[in-house]
Chains A and B, each alone.
Chain A
Amino acid sequence: MIAALGWLWRGAALGVLAFAIFGPLANLVLWAVALQWYYPHKLPLSFGLRYWREVFKPTSDAFVSLGTSIEIALITVLACLLLAVPAGYALGRRLLPGRAAILMLMLLPQAFPSVAVYINIARLFYRIGLNGTVAGVVLVHSVHGLVIAVWIAAAAFAAVDAELELAARNLGASAWRAALTVTLPLAAPGIMAAAIFVFLESLDEFTGTYFVGVPDITTLPLMMFTASIAGNYQIAAITALILLVPSIAFMLLIERFLNTETLAKIG
């Protein structure tokens, strides 16, 4: 009897949690397939895929924004990796004194509320003509991307046994060769994780792009925002679902790798 009550309580609590988590997401899906929905109806009056056609026709804004978003995200990943892998190597291998200080400096962008910083970046970019360009948006995305990339890369390199590199050098390899052919491949999974984090972060980035990209660059989050403010909930919902796909896919992929030790190293 008590066991049954226990299950009732447990079930209710989990049910409320499930509703709290999946309710808003389900609402999004409903709006994505609704044609007409107004009060006092609790569910859409008519369903249809009309808005999907509108979003996916090749001339549509959504398609262009999707392309822009992916383009910017890929370039951001490239830029961040180019900068973070060497830095992560130096920091992970503890080659520098003041390592802690540098890592703290790298953490600065996460430590300060960034809206004011973005406002001023936009102003500075106006002066040098970088506002409203892909390069400008990539630079803005890279700042936060670098934080993630450097920290994860440092952790990934630190996790690689230094002995292996020393063994390679003992066998005659130069420092570069040892680093590139022994350490880098071993740190690769961590670096791949960093790349994916940076990609997702850039894809979903809104605030910086809002100040630096408008009006010429429209990324998918900006388009979603405009559609939502304009009351076009169907298009906003569909765009939101498009944004969710890479994130959820990554989550399902990473379920195996997201163990607590890695997170402890990051924290």
Chain B
Amino acid sequence: MPERRLLALLLVAPALAVVLALFVYPLCYSLASAFTTRDGAPSFDNFAKAIELYTADIVFTLVITTVSTVLVAILSAAIGGYLVLGDHPFAVKLLKWLYRWPLFVPFIVAAQCMRTFLAKNGMLNNTLDTLGLVDLRNVSGLLDWRGIIVTFVWKETPFVALLVAGAMAALDRAGIEAARNLGARGLRILVEILVPQVAGVMIVGLVLAFVTMLSVLSVPIMISGGSPTMITVDMAFRVNSYSDYGTANALGFISYLIAGLGAWIYLRRNIAGAAQ
């Protein structure tokens, strides 16, 4: 019925309009700004400048997000796996309660926690020193790109682990029991049986986590003082100090490319899965 369709369209239109006006339009504006000079002539100058000044940061952004995502994948698979395969109900229950906490800590609060936790004389090093594992005088703080990785992993693992654990719990236990009967132990069951079956859900979560990491400004600003850092900090610096929207948007385009990498992996996986 056409009038029903029209009505449905009217119901959706306002929400669509907001997303179009407040996201798609600025996005197009950003792309346009990246490829033009201040006077409006098309050029690659902004990219030349961005690459000249910030190559190290671009590389590090890629490294930080990729390493973080891989670590999140490993940890969330391990947590999900233990929740499904663990034999001791008390340990499983404790883990279930424990791992969710960082999920509800906002990024900026996590950044503040880590700023003092990972400092040279922060709680982490102090504790390790008390345990005799390091010497406070020689140790260095983690307040650089490694601290950014730690914070991202801390914050994103519960999210992906939640998805993965849910997916694993929904799997048919028959396969697991069969493998157990054949003598396979925990790790092998996890890697060869569980993970392949939840790979789809896991990749969705990892791609979302990956894109989120590229969007965060608070964590790199608060944790890593100088170079190398993530290009989000450079974008903010360019705009705030020089009003240089061209270079900032060029860096933005580069971050879209990096995000696109993640999306491409997701699509490849989906197409491969559909083809099977």
Contacts and interface: CB of A to CB of B under 8 A. Distances in A.
A and B touch in the complex (CB under 8 A): yes
A77 interface: no
B69 interface: no
A228 interface: yes
Contact of A24 (B14, B117, B215, B249): B117
A60 B95 CA distance: 41
Contacts of A120: 26-27, 29-30, 33, 245, 249
A55 interface: no
Interface string A41-85: 010000000000000000000000000000000000000001110
Interface residues of A, number: 82
Contact of B106 (A204, A229, A267): A204
B86 to A, nearest CB: 9
Interface in A99-120: 102, 105-106, 108-117, 119-120
Given A106-B19, A244-B109, A260-B169, A115 B255 contact: yes
B139 interface: no
Contacts of B221: 225, 229
Interface of B: 4-5, 7-9, 11-12, 14-16, 18-19, 22-27, 29-30, 33, 88, 91, 94-95, 98-117, 121-124, 126-127, 129-130, 136, 154, 162-163, 165-167, 169-170, 201, 204-205, 208, 211, 214-218, 221-222, 232, 235-236, 239, 245, 248-249, 251-253, 255-256, 258-259, 263
Contact of B112 (A19, A105, A150, A240): A240
A247 B104 CA distance: 6
A243 interface: yes
A263 B222 CA distance: 32
B204 A267 contact: yes
Contacts of A24: 110, 113-114, 117, 123, 154
A14 B95 contact: yes
B9 A113 contact: no
A23 B9 CA distance: 50
A257 interface: no
A19 B117 CA distance: 11
Nearest to B8: A95
Contacts of A134: none
Majority secondary structure, A binding face = helix
Contacts of B252: 113, 115-117, 119
A264 interface: yes
Nearest to B27: A117
B248 A119 contact: yes
A18 B91 CA distance: 12
Interface in A209-249: 210-211, 221, 224-225, 228-229, 233, 236-237, 240, 243-244, 247-248
22 contacts: A10-B88, A18-B98, A21-B98, A24-B110, A24-B114, A40-B136, A83-B14, A87-B14, A108-B27, A113-B211, A113-B214, A113-B256, A115-B255, A119-B245, A124-B29, A146-B19, A203-B106, A206-B107, A207-B217, A251-B100, A258-B162, A260-B165
